Structure formats: C-alpha cells, structure tokens
C-alpha cells in the first residue's frame, strides 16, 4: 500500500525582483553574483520562511534536490561605492590597540572602494524536490514567512507571490518534467516580444550523473571565525527545456505575431507625427 506522505513532492517558486544577487565565493570589497540562484541562497530563503535562526539545523533543507530555470536571465548591474572619513582622516582598520580601539590604516588609506554586483530584471523558477510532508510545510511557510524573505541579499525583496505551486503524485517524480510543464514566468514586456506557443529556456538540474560541480550547498548559516560560510559541493547538469508560453502560434497566413495582451490605443510616437 502506498503512503502519499512517503512520496516525493515538488515545491515551485517564482524568483522575481528588480534586483537579485546570488553570491559565490567572493567576499570583502567585491561581491559578485552568480547568473542564477544558488542552492545556499534558496535554502536560506526557505530557512527564513520557516523561522529557523542561524545555527539551527538545515540538513533537511539542504537535502532537497534543486532545479533552476532561467525564464528571464536579466542583465548584470555593478553598484560602485567609495567610503571616506568626513574629516579626511585615514580609514579605520580591523586591528585594535591595547585599549581595544580600532587603529587607523597604515599605510594610510583615505578611501575604500567597494563593488557589488546584481542581476536586474531577472525571473527564475526554482523547483525543489523532497519528502511530501516537508514540501507541504515549506509551501505554507513561504505563504506565511516567519522572517522577511529576500533573493540573495536583504536589500533584494521579491516581487509578487513566491509560491507558484506544489506538485505531488507521479508527476513529482521527474523534476525535469515538472519544469517542462510549468508555464513561462517571464514578465509581460518580454512575453509580448516572443509571440510563439513555446520557448527554449536554460536550466540547471541537480543530478548525481551530472558533469558539473557547484560548491553552493550550505552546511550551516552560523557565523564562522573566518567569516565565510560552510559549504560543500553538489553535481549538476545544464540543459535546455522547451516550455509552453501560454501564447498562440503566429498566424501563418498573415505572418503576424500575437502580442499576448490587448492593445491599449496608446501611441507614444503620435505626438512626434511618426
């Protein structure tokens, strides 16, 4: 006799925001972003939704199998900053004197430069496969998060509901097929330019038989003396998926493309006589 609670289920999330940042190994004054959500970032989001604090157990979350589809890859944004003391004094260093006060940089460093990288205008679909009870609990947590949720960094708040759906039963057994069946989630401004019933999207799927390694599996979110998080690796494969767009195919008799939305009658070039 089959027990549904023992069957796998899939949690589907739509990760969309004006800015996202999924950090890799970079740190200090240069913080890069991966071109797609990392497992540590997605697990951190789920841990926050479930109300887990730093140092609490995350083995069950890290054990979820992750697949990510790039519905709207976005573009890279560099956020450049300089930091200086108002009075022109050298910046403080990480060293302290005998009284426990921070020393000034030596040789003197009057300006500190930082670079932060983000993905702008990106949309991803993340599919996480795991035990049915855990997936259902996480779906409830995403709908009612214990802590504010962010896409990689605290400043990157998501746009719109994160939870797309949960898939159960036989359909949840094939993680790649779940992504194939999930409609395209790109923004309207992207969808209206496509004009076809299907679209090919890049995806990264966690797979023991994969041929790439990703060092983004979190072991803990507790602070470490080195200041870097504890991570291990997983095996992934990169592929392309044909996904339904929800748009009709172009009419071959006219050669026209459907727009996907009704015309508004607004013509911004009319005032220029174009």
3-class DSSP assignment, residue 31: strand
Interval 61-83: pLDDT, tens = 999 999 999 999 999 999 888 87
Q: Is residue 97 part of a domain?
A: no
The pair of structure tokens assigned to 2 is 């089959």
Give the pLDDT mean for 183-191. Answer: 92
Q: Is the pLDDT of residue 35 over 50?
A: yes
State the pLDDT confidence band at 224, using cuts at 50, 70 and 90. low
State the pLDDT confidence band at 109, using cuts at 50, 70 and 90. confident
We report the CATH number of the domain holding residue 167 as 3.30.70.2660
Cα atoms found within 13 Å of the Cα of residue 19, Cβ hemisphere only: 13
Q: Is the pLDDT of residue 271 over 60?
A: no
Q: Is residue 95 part of a domain?
A: no
Q: Is the pLDDT of residue 262 over 50?
A: no
Q: Is residue 89 part of a domain?
A: no
Q: Is residue 164 part of a domain?
A: yes
Give the pLDDT mean for 252-268. Answer: 54
Q: Is the pLDDT of residue 230 over 90?
A: no
Q: Is residue 98 part of a domain?
A: no
What's the domain count of the chain? 1
DSSP letter for each residue of 206-240? E-TT-SEEEEEEEEE-S--TTSS-EEEEEEEEEEE
With CA atoms as reference, report the closest residue to 163 among 177, 175, 145, 178.
145
**Which own/partner pairs from 191-195 qualify as long-range (CB within 8 Å, at least 24 positions apart)?**
191/245, 191/246, 191/247, 191/260, 192/259, 192/260, 192/261, 194/245, 194/247, 194/260, 195/247, 195/250, 195/257, 195/258, 195/259, 195/260
Domain span including residue 200 = 4-84+106-272
**pTM exceeds cut of 0.95:** no
State the pLDDT confidence band at 10, using cuts at 50, 70 and 90. very high
Q: Is residue 93 part of a domain?
A: no
Q: Is residue 99 part of a domain?
A: no
State the pLDDT confidence band at 84, using cuts at 50, 70 and 90. confident
State the pLDDT confidence band at 3, using cuts at 50, 70 and 90. low
Q: Is the pLDDT of residue 260 over 50?
A: no
Q: Is residue 96 part of a domain?
A: no
């Amino acid at each position: 006799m089959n027990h549904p609670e023992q069957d796998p289920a899939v949690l589907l999330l739509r990760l969309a925001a004006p800015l996202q940042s999924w950090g890799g190994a970079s740190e200090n004054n240069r913080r890069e972003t991966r071109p797609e959500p990392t497992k540590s970032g997605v697990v951190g989001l789920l841990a926050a939704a479930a109300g887990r604090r730093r140092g609490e157990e995350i083995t069950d979350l890290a054990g979820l199998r992750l697949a990510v589809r790039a519905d709207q890859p976005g573009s890279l944004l560099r956020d450049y900053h300089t930091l200086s003391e108002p009075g022109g004094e050298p910046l403080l260093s990480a060293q302290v004197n005998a009284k426990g006060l921070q020393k000034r940089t030596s040789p003197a460093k009057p300006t500190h430069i930082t670079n932060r990288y983000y993905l702008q205008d990106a949309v991803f679909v993340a599919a996480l496969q795991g035990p049915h009870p855990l997936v259902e609990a996480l779906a409830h947590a995403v709908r009612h998060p214990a802590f504010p949720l962010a896409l990689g960094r605290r400043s990157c708040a998501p746009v719109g509901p994160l939870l797309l759906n949960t898939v159960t039963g036989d359909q949840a057994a094939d993680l790649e097929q779940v992504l194939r069946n999930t409609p395209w989630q790109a923004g309207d401004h992207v969808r209206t330019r496509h004009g076809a019933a299907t679209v090919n999207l890049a995806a990264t799927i966690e797979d023991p038989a994969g041929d790439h390694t990703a060092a983004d599996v979190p072991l803990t979110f507790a602070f470490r003396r080195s200041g870097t998080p504890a991570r291990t690796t997983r095996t992934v494969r990169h592929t392309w998926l044909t996904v339904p767009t929800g748009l009709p195919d172009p009419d071959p008799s006219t050669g026209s493309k459907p727009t996907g939305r009704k015309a508004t009658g607004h013509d911004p070039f009319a005032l220029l006589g174009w």
